[in-house]
Amino acid sequence: MKDSAGTYTVGRLGELCGISRSTLLYYDSLGLLSPSGRSPSGYRLYSEADRARLERILAFRINEEIAGLRGQQRGILDLLEADGSLKVGRAALLALSDLGKAAGISETNYEALHAAFEANAPAEHRRLLGLLGFTEAETEDFLASLG
């Protein structure tokens, strides 16, 4: 909620954007997001433009995290493929599936994981399926089954 002057306090802006007050204070110390003004008693006040800037900062931060995770996926796949000898094969795939089921991972969870991996990093996902022993035809059939 904005106050009568159309501004947000640190606590309220943090609450609206799902971040802590200390994160906002940290962003201010970096000069990344400084408040547009101060109340008569010295409290930081953020404008609607400040709120919009914070949302862009948070979106960038999320995108940066996603890019980092994709880099980790590529690195893992590169390591697995390094000498060409590390193909997991069907027996290991079945053992991995059994382990997942024992840990409470359902078939729906696996499908959601593969669908998200395919949507976000299709080349890396297909590399993983190849490492798991899927042929190209099996990969195409599997991906088609995900919908």
At 3, which CATH number? 1.10.1660.10
111 occurs within a structural domain: yes
Q: How far apart are CA 133 and CA 87, in angstroms?
A: 6
Does a structural domain hold residue 124?
yes
User: Is residue 74, in this structure, part of any structural domain at all?
Assistant: no
Spatial contact of 31 and 25, defined as CB atoms under 8 Å apart: no
* Burial degree of 42 (CB within 10 A; 0-12, 13-18, 19+): exposed
- Please state the domain count of the chain: 2
User: What are the two backbone dihedrals, phi and then psi, of residue 99, each rounded to the nearest 5 degrees?
Assistant: -60, -45
Do 48 and 101 fall within a single domain?
no
Range of the domain at 41: 1-61
Examine the domain organization and report whether 91 and 57 are in the same domain.
no
User: What does the pLDDT average to over 98-117?
Assistant: 83
| pLDDT interval class at 1 (50, 70, 90) | very low
pLDDT band at 28 (very low <50, low <70, confident <90, very high): very high
Q: How many CB atoms lie within 10 A of CB 35?
A: 19
Report the predicted TM-score, pTM, of the whole model to 2 decimal places.
Answer: 0.46
Which stretch of 53-62, 86-95, 97-106, 116-125 has the lowest confidence by average pLDDT?
A: 86-95
Same domain, 53 and 91: no
